[in-house]
Amino acid sequence: MAARSRASTLSILLLLALSYTLSSVTFVSLSVPVRPPLKLQGQRLSRVVTRARGGEEDSEKLAVGDVVSAICPDDSQWYPGTIEKINDDSTFCVKWDDPEGGPETHDVPADGIKKIVIYKDYKVGETVEAVFPEDGYWYPGEVTKVGDGTFTVKWEDPDGGPEESEVEAKDMKYPPIPFAKLEVGQKYTGTVRSVLDFGAFVDIGAESDGLLHISRISKERIDNIYEELTEGQLVDVWISGKREDEGKYGLTMVEGLTDGPGRRPPDDLTPFADLSPDEWFKGVVARTAPFGAFVTVTLEGGEQADGLVHVSKIKDGFVDNVDDEVSVGQEVKVRIESVDLDMNRMSLSMREGFGGGGGFRDPVDLSAFESADPSAWVQGKVARLAPFGAFVTVTMDGSTADGLVHITQIRDGFVESVEDELSEGQEVEVRIESVDVDAGKMSLSMKPAE
C-alpha cells in the first residue's frame, strides 16, 4: 500500500482532487467558494482520533460498518478503514479510508484490527472541536442541536463562512482538558499510549499524557507491566497528583491511591544528581522485578531515594532471573550512573566500572561504530533476549560489539513478546541509531529509517 502522507496546503489538495476520486476524502468545493474560519486553522483532519472517539476496543465485537484501525498486509502498517464484510474464514474485509493508488480493500485477521469507539453523547451547549466540512480542518465551536446521528455545530469564528454546520460524531471531539482543570481524585477513561518498564503514559484527553507508574496499576505487586497493559488499551484511572511548576500529573488505577498525606511523596533526587558514577554507596533492595531491582540508597547526610538497577547492571554476564541474584532486604553496593530530575528517575549499577567481577574493566570500544550511517543496514546475530528487547552482536571495521534493539524497534506495530519475534542465534539486519562511547551503549533498530 502506498504511503499515506496528507498534503497540508489547499493547492496540493486541489491537485489531488483533480487526480483522484476518493469517496473517503472531502475536498474543498471548486464550484462554491467558502471561506473557512481562517483565524482558527491549524489541525488537519485525522481519520483516527482515539481521543475524540473514546479509544480502541477488542476486536471480538467487530461488525460490518465499524470504524477501525487495521494492519495493511502489504506493509504491516496501521491505517484507518471500515469493516465492509465478515469473511467465512473469520477474517474481515477492510475498506481503507484512503488507499491512494493501492487496493481499496484487504482481508485482515481479527488480531490485526482495532475497533474505534465513536463517542456520540455530546450535549447541546457543550464546547467541542469539530471538522469543518468544507476543508477538513478542526475548529472550536458549540453544539446547538442534536440530530439523528449528526450534530449542529456553531462555529466560534466563522469569518465569512457558514455560522453552523452539520457534523458527524466521528468528526467531533472535546477540546483538550487544561492542566489547571485537572484535580487530584478525578476519574477518567484513558488510552494507553506507550508502555515502559517503569510505567505507562496514558491519554485522558488532557493537554499532555499522564504517567501511570507501575506501582499504581494494582494493589498487588506487578512483576511484569507488559502482562498488565498494552498500547491502545482503555483503562479507568484517577489523577493521583500534580506538579504545578512542571505541568505534569500522575495517574493511578487504584481509586484513592493519591499523593496525599498518607503516601510517601516522590523522592527528591537533587542530592544525587552530581555524584560521581565511580563512587560506591550502600543500598538495600526494596523490591525486584523481571527487568531489575529497585534499591534504596542512603547518602551520608541522610538523603534517601530509590533507583533502578537494571537486570544488565546486576553483574557481568547474562542474568536469567533477578531473584536468583538479589532479594528484598539484601544490602548491596551500587554506583549512581545517571539521574533524570525531569522524570524523577535514578539509574544504578552493581557492576564495577564497565565490567566487574574482580576489578575494573575498560568499556567496550564502540568508536568504530560512531560514524555508522543510521540509515544503512548492518548484519547482526541475536545474542540474548530480554522482556524489553534483544541484544544483537554486530561487526564493523573489524570491531565487534553488542547493541540493544528495544522492543519498540523490532518492527512496526505493537510487539507483545520479544520471544515471538526473535530467537537467540538468529541472523538479522539492523541499523545503528546511536552510539554512546562513554557509557558503552549502542542503540539498534530493525525498523526502516523514517
Per-residue pLDDT tens digits for 231-273 = 778 888 999 888 887 788 999 998 877 765 434 456 788 889 8
> What number does CATH give the domain 270-349?
2.40.50.140
1-33+56-116 against 179-252: fold identical? no
Cell numbers 469543518 correspond to 132
Output the average pLDDT for the chain: 78
Residue 84 in contact with residue 93, Cβ under 8 Å? yes
Average pLDDT over residues 136-145: 90
The count of C-alpha atoms lying within 13 angstroms of the C-alpha of 40, restricted to the half-sphere facing its C-beta, is 21
Q: In the chain, where are the structural domains located?
A: 1-33+56-116, 179-252, 270-349, 367-445
Among the ranges given (132-136, 279-283, 361-365), the one the predictor scored with the smallest mean pLDDT: 361-365
What per-residue confidence (pLDDT) applies to 85? 92
Angle at 201 between CA 199 and CA 203, to 5 degrees: 150
- Cα 16-17-18 angle, rounded to 5 deg: 90
What pLDDT was estimated at residue 106?
93
In total, the chain counts a number of residues equal to 450
**What kind of fold does domain 367-445 have according to CATH?**
OB fold (Dihydrolipoamide Acetyltransferase, E2P) (2.40.50)
Q: State the amino acid at position 146 in one-letter form.
A: V
**CA–CA separation, 186 and 320 (whole Å):** 41
According to DSSP, the residues that pair with 183 across neighbouring strands are none
Is the confidence at residue 411, as pLDDT, over 50?
Answer: yes
Q: One-letter amino acid identity for 84? A: E
For 96-100, which contacts have Cβ atoms below 8 Å and span 24 or more sequence positions?
Answer: 96/1, 96/24, 96/72, 97/24, 97/25, 97/47, 98/4, 98/22, 98/24, 98/25, 98/47, 99/1, 99/2, 99/22, 100/1, 100/2, 100/3, 100/4, 100/20, 100/22
- The pLDDT of residue 262: 39
State how far the Cα of 145 lies from the Cα of 9, in Å rounded to an integer: 31
Superfamily (CATH H level) for 179-252: Nucleic acid-binding proteins (2.40.50.140)
> What pLDDT is attached to residue 353?
60
Distance between CA atoms of residues 101 and 261, nearest Å: 60
Structure confidence at residue 154 as a pLDDT band (50, 70, 90): very high
CATH number of 1-33+56-116: 3.20.20.370, 2.30.30.140, 1.25.10.10, 1.20.140.10? 2.30.30.140
Is the pTM above the cut of 0.85? no
Q: What is the pLDDT of residue 439?
A: 66
